[in-house]
Structure 1
Amino acid sequence: MNLITFNPFRTISIPNITYIKPENIFKEIDKIKSADCILFPEYWQVNSLVYGLKKKIFPNISTYQLGHNKVETTRALWTTFPKNVPYTQILSKYNINIETIEEEFGYPLVAKEIKNSMGRGVFLIKNRQELKTYIENNDILYIQEKLPIDRDLRIIYVGNKIIGAYWRIAREGEFHNNIAKGAIYDYNNIPSKAIELVEKVASSLNINHAGFDIAVVGDAYYILEYNVMFGNEGLKNMGVNIEKHIYDYILSYPDFNPNTPMYPEAS
């Protein structure tokens, strides 16, 4: 199988793979046309590869498009798993009423930049001045209820299955549960209902490479977001080789068999 990657760090141990710098996509177009599958293109390349060249890509296009930012993810979840989304409002800074936000959410509330990761761009808003500052700095407002949690679950889905799960526990007195913000791992007592939820969501939305962040509040399970380009350190601590799972999936799953058409043949 002839494979091309645009991200060598995520495919370092995959055999028979050629790295092309993303900015060289048009210089190397003949190599790309002859590839069986393109791995980890950048978002700006996806439409040209899939719709222009009819190439198979990994992660797949639904993973990229629905995971492009928090707005796309949340709207998809509102239509499919609304009970598993924390109370959230997506607003324009040019048409908002601060009093209405305060009435609906109270303080503290959570405000997020729509495209960021590792805890960056996620703010615990404690008063009106902090809310005004957030509004001034963001054209699209993503405002969410503050859940009573000090940890969340990171559940990794690759191909067509979950390959790892762990808790991310915030430091005492801290708001963020992200490892990059000082949280710690805990690999024990992973709730089966959280696993089942991620399996259902990934299957329903045709997602094949994502790190899901799940909050557990009593008997309720909430999807905070999913990241297409998630960190791998937690998997490495478990002894999980993610590249092997990706390669096995590409070899075995029908959608990525080079002898299987990408689109159904006309009858």
Structure 2
Amino acid sequence: MSKLPKLGFLYLDYVLRFFDHSNFKGWPNKIESVTYHWKNDKKRFIKEVKNKKIDILIGNIPATAYDTFVEISKELPNVRFVPSLETQFPNKSKENVTLFCNKYKLSAPYTKIYYDKKKGYDYLKNKAKYPQIIKRSYGPSNYGGYYVHKADNFKEAKALLDKEKYNPIYTQDAIDLKFSGDLRVMLIGHKPVCAFWRFSGEGEWITNTSQGGSMSYENVPMNALELAVEASKAAKAEYWACDIAIDAKNDKAYILECATAFAAFPYIRDWICQYLMWDFSNGKFKMPHVPLFSWEELGKIDSSLLRTMRHIGFSKYKPSCDGTWYINDKVDEFDMEKAELSDPSDVPESIEPKDLPIFKDLEKDAKHDNFKISKINLNSASLTDIMTLHAMEEDLALEIHEYLEDNIVTDSSDLLELESIDQQMLETWNNHLDDMRIDINEADENTLKKIKGIGAKLAKIILDFKNKNKYFKSLDELKEIDGIGKNKLAQLKSRLKIGE
């Protein structure tokens, strides 16, 4: 029996951990973990990987660390990164998605990219066909569609770019979306395992559910699946996701986005790791059986429940019930297969001009020489703010936002009341959350009663006490209220404060 490779999880501080040991159910050997701590941590990280004798490092790399890990991978030539750095090239920016599609002749909207602002404005004024879709190309988080904009004329495009100062200017011809929606397709081993329509909300054009859109797992068109498979094979991706538009005029499919980093329910991550175990063990572990269109049935389950389901399996099936009937005479049966190993020649040549200040700023940010964590207070956070939390899913952001309409959160652990939230998520988000304790002297009765452990009755008593004494000088004064003992006081101190 051949020896199994030594696996390691690639983690980064402040970034949600996509995989953990629970996903690799049945793997007989210890799986190491190595965490990158940003701020010139490259040498230490490389040394730890070598000391632990890791053969395969598994994990997604955020856009701001991509260039650093390209350098790290060169120092670890005998370590296989999964997904490879070449496969993760489109993760870095919208620009890279376009370069990837161009290199492999994948169908995508007509796109122009300008680092020269004057040339970009000239194109938008004199040559562009409106409406145009303008996107932020670079950034640590592009989830939720909050950096995707529609301009119906040059005046709108210029006003947007003057305000947002996006560099490069990244602009696409808008696709007339069939059914006012686009599709997301998730693949493992080049096989679609989940696909769904995303429809724009009433009066909106953007399809993200966090902005009022809706979803449907029914009637996913075959040409969208075929294009997603083509892109996955071009990327040599073990796992992959595409956002795809279908043109209402001619039913042609276009890639809008593609990446290895995508929001996925835990059971999909389980399938990915089952596939990886099959790959890493040369077939000693079984390849997962995921019938095509199984998402139509799974999609009928409430998402809050579906997010808790793990290691979903299917009985073995014949190709005739795996969707190949729909393909007619086509050879591709959408079976899983081992992804080819990539090499640096797979990466498109960058068009980033090295001499522009914007590039230098991005390079500095990517290396995190001056890494800063932006913090948010959930009680005042918009959906946009919530979506910036690492690896936040759109429907989960909506669930949190709805919860906050009726509740005040003073500690992230309050969110554990939601079945969709677990401790690992909170540990990832805590570094990005501000002090959320409530200033007792500023809070009104409605705010106080929403705080866990207070309620309507105690809120009124506290407010009456405050009004009688003008304000609290110390939280210890709460002891003077009947019914607040030592334990209750400690609880309230963890949720209230005086001033900033």
Give the TM-score normalised by structure 1: 0.82
Matches within 5 A, 1:96-115: 96=119, 98-115=121-138
Q: Residue 153 of structure 1 contacts residue 214 of structure 1 at CA under 8 Å; is this kept in 2?
A: yes
Q: Residues 140-198 of structure 1: CA distance to partner in whole angstroms, max 9, x if unpaired?
A: 11111121122101001234422211111111111211123232210000111111111
Task: Name the amino acid aligned to 1:198.
Answer: A
Q: Tell me, yes or no, if the aligned pair for 2:88 and 2:259 is still in contact at 8 Å.
A: no
Q: 1:143 and 1:2, CA in 2 relative to 1: closer, same or farther beyond 3 A?
A: closer
- Give secondary structure in 1 for the equivalent of 2:70: helix
CA RMSD of aligned residues (A): 2.8
Counterpart position of 1:185: 215
- Do 2:135 and 2:149's aligned partners in 1 also have CA atoms closer than 8 Å? yes
* Structure 1 alignment gaps of length 5 or more: none
* Structure-2 change in CA distance of 1:263 and 1:227 (3 Å): closer
Following superposition, the deviation at residue 256 of structure 1 comes to 8.5
Task: Return the offset for 1:97.
Answer: 5.7
CA contact (8 A) 1:159 1:245 kept: no
Determine whether 1:32 maps to 2:40: no
SS in 2 for 1:107: coil
Tell me how far apart the structure 2 counterparts of residues 96 and 256 of structure 1 sit (CA, whole Å): 52
| Whole-Å separation in 1 of the counterparts to 2:175 and 2:269 | 34
Displacement of 1:2 in angstroms is: 3.0
2:23 matched residue in structure 1: 14
Greater fraction strand: 1
Given that 1:5 and 1:11 are in contact with CA atoms closer than 8 Å, whether structure 2 keeps it comes out as no
Structure 1 residue 221 and structure 2 residue 247: aligned? no
**Structure 2 counterpart of 1:117:** 143
Identify the match of residue 245 of structure 1 among 248, 267, 271.
271
Contact 2:7 2:58 in 1 (8 A): no
1:56-205 aligned at under 5 Å gives the runs: 56-82=80-106, 84-96=107-119, 98-115=121-138, 116-136=142-162, 137-149=165-177, 150-205=180-235
Deviation at 1:255, TM superposition (A): 10
Larger Rg, first or second structure (1 or 2): 2
Shift in Å at residue 87 of structure 1?
A: 1.6
Output the amino acid matched with 1:65: F
| 1:25 to 1:80, Cα distance in 2 relative to 1, 3 A | closer
Instruction: Quote the offset at 1:46 in angstroms.
Output: 2.4
Query: Structure 1's 26 and 61: CA in aligned 2 closer, same or farther, altered over 3 A?
Result: same
Distance 2:251 2:45 in 1: 52
Who is 2:485 aligned against? none
Q: Cα distance 1:60–1:148, how it changes in 2: closer, same or farther (>3 A)?
A: same
TM-aligned CA deviation for residue 90 of structure 1: 1.2
**Contact preservation (8 Å) 1:153, 1:166:** yes
**Whole-Å separation in 2 of the counterparts to 1:119 and 1:67:** 15
CA distance 1:17–1:255, change in 2 (3 Å): closer
Instruction: Determine which structure has greater relative contact order: mean sequence separation of CA pairs < 8 Å that are 6+ residues apart, divided by chain length.
Output: 1
**1:35-50 map, 5 Å:** 35-42=54-61, 43-50=66-73
Q: Aligned partners of 2:207, 2:282: CA distance in 1, in Å?
A: 35
C-alpha separation in 2, matches of 1:160 and 1:37: 20
Distance 1:210 1:182 in 2: 25
Aligned in 2, Cα 1:254/1:27: closer, same or farther, shift over 3 Å? Answer: closer
Residues 51, 126 of structure 1: CA spacing in aligned structure 2 closer, same or farther, 3 A cutoff? same
- Residue 120 of structure 1 deviates from its aligned partner by 2.1
TM-aligned CA distance change 1:133 to 1:113, over 3 Å: same
Aligned length: 253
Q: For residue 3 of structure 1, what is the aligned residue in structure 2?
A: 8
Name which of structure 1's ranges 183-192 and 128-137 shifts more when overlaid on structure 2: 128-137
Identify unmatched segments of 5+ residues in structure 2: 1-5, 25-29, 284-340, 344-500
Is the 1:39–1:58 contact (alpha carbons within 8 Å) kept by the matching residues of 2? yes
1:151–1:215 CA contact under 8 A, matched in 2 = yes
Matched with 2:359 is none
Question: TM-score by structure 2 length?
Answer: 0.46
CA 1:182/1:256 → structure 2, altered by over 3 Å: closer, same or farther? farther
Local SS of the residue matching 1:9: coil
Q: Give the Å deviation of 1:223.
A: 0.5
Distance 1:26 1:87 in 2: 41
Q: Please say if residues 124 and 157 of structure 2, whose CA atoms lie closer than 8 Å, have aligned partners that are also in contact.
A: no
